[in-house]
Amino acid sequence: MKYVEEYRDPQLARQLLDEIHAATTKPWSLMEVCGGQTNTIVRQGIDDVLPVGLRMVHGPGCPVCVTPLEMVDKACAIAVQPGVTFTSYGDMLRVPGSHSDLLSLKARGADVRVVYSPMEAVRIAQREPDRQVVFFAVGFETTAPANAMSVIRARDLGLSNFSILVSHVLVPPAMTSILDDEDCGIDGFLAAGHVCAVMGWREYEPIAARYRVPIVVTGFEPLDLLEGILMAVRQLESGRCEVENQYIRAVRRNGNEHAQEAVASVFQVADRTWRGVGEIPRSGLELAAAFAEFDAARRFAVEGIETRENPACIAGAILRGTRLPTDCPMYGRACTPRMPLGAPMVSSEGTCAAFYNAGRVAEPATAQQTVGSQA
Ligand code: SF4
């Protein structure tokens, strides 16, 4: 397949791996803040073949996993209201809420539908004017432009039966929150290629300078990740702390300015709770006042929901990169992708699901795997 196979060439992978081994003289910890990268690293076993002491720490990069429990509960509360058609990407349907999940509500008769874009939800609202159509707008900067465009389209069509339940999160504040933690052991980051395709990398430059960490914008294929790791290691070994771009085929420094304008016209920055991590100031997006009428949380008045996390789930520690899924007593036993107890076991981008699907078993941690004890 053109533009995919080239980035999976085994000979080039071996060459890059040899260069990583040659370049690494000290122990380093690199965090990827992207579920797609986590999936590739774990599925391809990249973390298993790195030099001893060069650790990949899997950060809060899965959009499904970081959507706060309160939002999942609000989605469930809206979905069961009469006359509501609740639409969402498929992964969100199986995320456990405090009392239920969207898929279970659908099985019990709620009108919950999987869509492949927010525009599909707008078209449902056009076709079915007697239904109140709600789209679950979750994710990082990557999905925000399409969600913004859906609201603009609904306004232009004069639709009064379309709204979105917003739970957008922003990557840079999460990175600074991780770096501000006094127990943080992260030496460098692989920044998410798709987020940077939208946002560019200018906003990472002050982070690299202030915290003195290299940040390498990196793609998702095995060769992308190996090259991103090599670039980060070379910076660390030479004492540089810069933003570099490995993903040159998709990312420019300024990003996609049209997409940024769409987001800025519809959303405003707000404090946001990250599931398992807690509230991070100015780390999310909410609808701007001019578009408040499209806010499903206001339209359906679902405030004051009491949430209840499963006490057995250690997803918070996994999302902060201080524990591994195999440290969780539920992993592969009471919690599997078929029967997830926590959000990281739901999506293929979740660290627990990535570990499970790669066949990783809960064994005594090796030096490579012992994240929590060193972080
Ligand atoms: S294995 Fe399941 S219960 Fe354990 S942390 Fe992951 S999602 Fe939570």
pLDDT in tens, 7-26: 889 999 999 999 999 999 99
Residue 344 CA, closest ligand 1 atom number: 7
Residue 312 CA, closest ligand 1 atom number: 3
Q: How far apart are CA 341 and CA 138, in angstroms?
A: 20
Q: CA nearest 254: which of 204, 316, 319, 188? A: 204
Residues 205-215: tens digit of each pLDDT: 999 999 999 99
For residue 363, pLDDT over 70 is answered with no
Of 27-31, 284-288, 317-321, 333-337, the least confident: 317-321
pLDDT of residue 374: 34
Residue 352 CA, closest ligand 1 atom number: 6
Categorize the per-residue pLDDT at 6 as very low, low, confident or very high, splitting at 50, 70 and 90. confident
Q: How far apart are CA 12 and CA 50, in angstroms?
A: 15
Q: What angle do CA 115, 262, 252 make, to 5 degrees?
A: 100
Q: How far apart are CA 94 and CA 100, in angstroms?
A: 9
Smallest CA separation from ligand 1 atom 7, residue: 342
**What percent of the chain stands above pLDDT 90?**
82
pLDDT averaged over every residue in the chain: 93
pLDDT of residue 367: 39
Q: What is the mean pLDDT of residues 337-348?
A: 90
Categorize the per-residue pLDDT at 364 as very low, low, confident or very high, splitting at 50, 70 and 90. low
**What is the identity of the amino acid at 42?**
V
Of 72-81, 146-155, 191-200, 275-284, the least confident: 275-284
**Residue among 42, 328, 355, 356 whose CB has most ligand 1 atoms within 8 A, to mutate:** 328
Smallest CA separation from ligand 1 atom 6, residue: 352
Q: How many CA atoms lie within 13 A of 219 on its CB side?
A: 17
Residue 323 CA, closest ligand 1 atom number: 5
pLDDT of residue 366: 45
Categorize the per-residue pLDDT at 368 as very low, low, confident or very high, splitting at 50, 70 and 90. very low
Categorize the per-residue pLDDT at 1 as very low, low, confident or very high, splitting at 50, 70 and 90. low
Q: What is the mean pLDDT of residues 343-356?
A: 92
Cα-to-centroid distance, 341 and ligand 1 (Å): 6
Q: Would the pTM count as exceeding 0.75?
A: yes
Residue the block writes with tokens 């001019």: 290
Going by DSSP bridges, is the β-strand pair 132-139/84-88 parallel, antiparallel, or unpaired?
A: parallel
Q: What angle do CA 306, 66, 121 make, to 5 degrees?
A: 85
Cα-to-centroid distance, 61 and ligand 1 (Å): 16
Q: What is the mean pLDDT of residues 23-36?
A: 96
Cα-to-centroid distance, 138 and ligand 1 (Å): 21
Going by DSSP bridges, is the β-strand pair 162-169/278-287 parallel, antiparallel, or unpaired?
A: antiparallel
For residue 169, pLDDT over 80 is answered with yes
**Residue 278 β-bridge partners:** 274
Cα-to-centroid distance, 90 and ligand 1 (Å): 20
206's enclosing H/E stretch is helix 205-211
pLDDT of residue 11: 94
Cα-to-centroid distance, 328 and ligand 1 (Å): 6
pLDDT of residue 305: 82
**Residue among 58, 275, 326, 341 whose CB has most ligand 1 atoms within 8 A, to mutate:** 341
Cα-to-centroid distance, 200 and ligand 1 (Å): 33
**Residue among 58, 322, 348, 352 whose CB has most ligand 1 atoms within 8 A, to mutate:** 352
Residues whose CB falls within 8 Å of the CB of residue 226, separated by 6 or more in sequence, listed in order: 13, 16, 17, 20, 46
Cα-to-centroid distance, 284 and ligand 1 (Å): 24
pLDDT of residue 49: 96
For residue 2, pLDDT over 80 is answered with no
Q: How far apart are CA 34 and CA 321, in angstroms?
A: 12
Residues 245-290: tens digit of each pLDDT: 999 999 999 999 999 999 999 999 999 999 878 899 999 999 999 9
Cα-to-centroid distance, 312 and ligand 1 (Å): 8
Residue 329 CA, closest ligand 1 atom number: 4
Residues 110-140: tens digit of each pLDDT: 999 999 999 999 999 999 999 999 999 999 9
Q: How many CA atoms lie within 13 A of 323 on its CB side?
A: 17
pLDDT of residue 349: 87
pLDDT of residue 157: 98
Q: Tokens for 279?
A: 């509230």
Cα-to-centroid distance, 335 and ligand 1 (Å): 6
Residues 185-235: tens digit of each pLDDT: 899 999 999 999 999 999 999 999 999 999 999 999 999 999 999 999 999
For residue 158, pLDDT over 90 is answered with yes
**Residue among 38, 313, 349 whose CB has most ligand 1 atoms within 8 A, to mutate:** 313
Smallest CA separation from ligand 1 atom 3, residue: 313
Cα-to-centroid distance, 95 and ligand 1 (Å): 12
Categorize the per-residue pLDDT at 239 as very low, low, confident or very high, splitting at 50, 70 and 90. very high
- Give ligand 1 pocket residues (Cβ under 6 A): 312-315, 318, 325, 328, 330-331, 335, 340-342, 344-345, 352
Q: CA nearest 135: which of 150, 118, 114? A: 118
For residue 88, pLDDT over 60 is answered with yes
Q: How far apart are CA 143 and CA 62, in angstroms?
A: 12
pLDDT of residue 183: 83
Cα-to-centroid distance, 309 and ligand 1 (Å): 11
Going by DSSP bridges, is the β-strand pair 243-245/267-274 parallel, antiparallel, or unpaired?
A: unpaired
